Structure 1
Amino acid sequence: MAITKFLKLVEIQTKAASMIPFLLGTVYALFRFHEFHAGHFALMLISLLSFDMATTAINNYYDYKKATKKHGYGYEHHNAIVKYQMNPAAVLGIIITLLLIAILAGILLFLQTGLLILLLGGLSFAVGILYSFGPIPISRMPLGEIFSGLFMGFVIIFISAYIHAGEKLATLTLNGETIVLQVQFVEVLLVFLLSIPAILGIANIMLANNICDMEDDIENKRYTLPVYIGKAPALMLFKIMYYAAYADLIVLGFMKVNPLILVLVLATVIPVGKNIKRFAAQPTKQHTFGLAVQNFILTNVARIAALSIAAWMTF
């Protein structure tokens, strides 16, 4: 399979949704704990990227197999299997290969870090598969925004910080027949609060996607959140979640990030607001869906930059 077709199949342009939280958690560990382990970083990068590509390919494959409406913009142009006339058997082979790479790298990371990575990684793998596969995939229910936001936002950020900080965040040990979980509550809470822009930004990417696909989703029996609550309430929720994301600036201030740096982060609210208005005026895959991705990148890359500068200032 040509590399161009492969990149379209896995929708490589969407991988910012997992890579940005990964980098945010890494920078947070460097800022908060002054810890960085290159080997752990590399293994998580390989596992996370491979699994993210696999789940996207599964989603495209499942949509290809289950689609009722097989005409129109959404089906013919956005499903790479149809657009590039890919061999379904070859697509399955790619999915299996990517999953094996992700699992192998994940196991190596677990062996170097601890049981908590095995637990969280296994749970994330299960949710990722069930998101696109099974009798009722999560993506076909009004739960997609919640699951994608929490797992791709908070869980990825937590794991990417944990592989560097370890017991400074939490420990999971097996003593005989007893499993003992010890959590540094304040530290984990800070990670969660820091993750709010990523959680809400990723949820909004999913919400924007579902708003754009409402008509096709109804025909293909995908009962997503906008289908349940209606387009107008979905657009209002889309707007509210972006502005709510800026509440984490209070947390950054509590962690003594320089106020001038926080002003730079807050400044992103201007282009984000403009993108919200443009999307609400014309919510389509062709013209405005990319604005949700832009907003996610704007809000979270600004925080990565802020923590990077703050970390540099502490050395």
Structure 2
Amino acid sequence: MSSIPKQNMKASLNERDGFQVWWRLLRPHTLTAAFVPVFIGSMLAALEGSIHLGLFTAMLIASILIQAATNMFNEYFDYVRGLDNENSVGIGGAIVRDGISPKVVKSLAYSFLGVATLLGFYICSSSSWWIAVIGLISMLFGYLYTGGPSPIAYTPFGELTAGLFMGTVIIGISYYIQTLSISWDVIIISIPAAIFIGAILLSNNIRDRVGDAENGRKTLAILFGHQGSIRFLMTVFILAYSLTLIMILVGMLPLWSIITFLSLMKAIKAVRGFVGEKQPLEMMPAMKATAQTNTVYGILLGLSLLIHLYIPLTL
């Protein structure tokens, strides 16, 4: 990519100074990936007649903090490794464009993990201390995602890791702390949400494919190529919606969950948005639509469970 003056790049990305600098550092478009699983897991627990608002709130805040910290570690380690520069698209840009000290970004990430840990103590004391083990493993993988000698984000396993820990694991924990139990139904129901979360990362890697390949990464987008990655994104979307429909038909999900298909338009927009585009900036709308697919699907799924709690509706 040709060099673009820093201020011109900030203008192209519509980036503002002040509070906006710190807000961008959080990468807010990714934070719904933390909210959605907590909401789904908690609503599944509500169907079992068990919901504790204090635990729900603590889990929600802790999940968001861990996601934000992961984003900050991503920003820090990509800068340290020389992968990000002032022309990079899709990053917070706090270090390379806004001049925030890398040490400040790393310290803020550790602070967020510290607060999440304190909330974890409350959650564990109110449910089970086994949650602490799972929580520590999740935070470790959040760090190893872009930190450590072999960052997961630079391998073909980034999407799987993100979907597993930010989807299935968080849904399972959110359900367990409310009911002190877990079932295969909960794990299976979590799969489409996990797929959509992994799709967010896939869309990010499609956008960054060329630059990532130049820097030695081996993501799925690089292995599949641009067209292959778009086909794979479409395939995982089809899989997620197919699983949802099957779960409705077999009674694992209530009939109300059919409303999740309202998110299908966002998924179609995401796939179409990548077709024929080559420049990272041009693919930003498609990536945004992918994140919105996860958000809309997850919120609608959670709402369908809540509605079913008061107005039961099955086939």
TM-score by length of 2: 0.85
Query: 2:254 and 2:116 mapped to 1: Cα distance?
Result: 38
Match of 2:225 among 204, 227, 230: 230
Matched, 1:266 2:264: no
Query: 1:236 and 1:301 mapped to 2: Cα distance?
Result: 26
Match of 2:155 among 116, 120, 141: 141
TM-score by length of 1: 0.85
Query: 1:29 and 1:44 mapped to 2: Cα distance?
Result: 14
| Code of the aligned partner of 1:248 | T
Contact (CA 8 Å) 2:207, 2:284: kept in 1 or not?
no
Matched, 1:13 2:11: no
| Code of the aligned partner of 1:211 | I
Query: 2:261 and 2:285 mapped to 1: Cα distance?
Result: 26
Matched, 1:254 2:270: no
Contact (CA 8 Å) 2:272, 2:286: kept in 1 or not?
no
Query: 1:43 and 1:82 mapped to 2: Cα distance?
Result: 33
Deviation >6 Å, runs of 4+:
none
Query: 1:14 and 1:258 mapped to 2: Cα distance?
Result: 28
Partner of 1:219 in structure 2?
Answer: 214
Query: 1:20 and 1:2 mapped to 2: Cα distance?
Result: 29
Query: 1:138 and 1:277 mapped to 2: Cα distance?
Result: 28
Deviations 1:152-179 (A, max 9, x none): 1100111111111113x2xxxxxxxxxx
Query: 1:276 and 1:293 mapped to 2: Cα distance?
Result: 12
Matched, 1:277 2:277: no
Deviating more after overlay: 277-286 vs 155-164: 277-286
Matched, 1:304 2:302: yes
RMSD (CA atoms): 2.3
Contact (CA 8 Å) 2:29, 2:288: kept in 1 or not?
no
Count of residue correspondences? 293
Deviation at 1:270, TM superposition (A): 4.1
| Code of the aligned partner of 2:40 | L
Structure 2 unaligned blocks of 5 or more: 1-16
Query: 1:308 and 1:56 mapped to 2: Cα distance?
Result: 31
Match of 2:101 among 87, 90, 96: 87
| Code of the aligned partner of 1:225 | L
Deviation at 1:297, TM superposition (A): 1.7
Partner of 1:116 in structure 2?
Answer: 130
Query: 2:28 and 2:270 mapped to 1: Cα distance?
Result: 22
Deviation at 1:129, TM superposition (A): 1.0
Give identity over the alignment, percent.
27
Contact (CA 8 Å) 1:197, 1:299: kept in 2 or not?
no
Matched, 1:163 2:183: no
Residues 232 and 279 of structure 1: is their aligned pair in 2 closer, same or farther, counting only changes over 3 Å?
closer
Deviation at 1:117, TM superposition (A): 0.7
Query: 2:23 and 2:145 mapped to 1: Cα distance?
Result: 20
Structure 1 unaligned blocks of 5 or more: 170-187
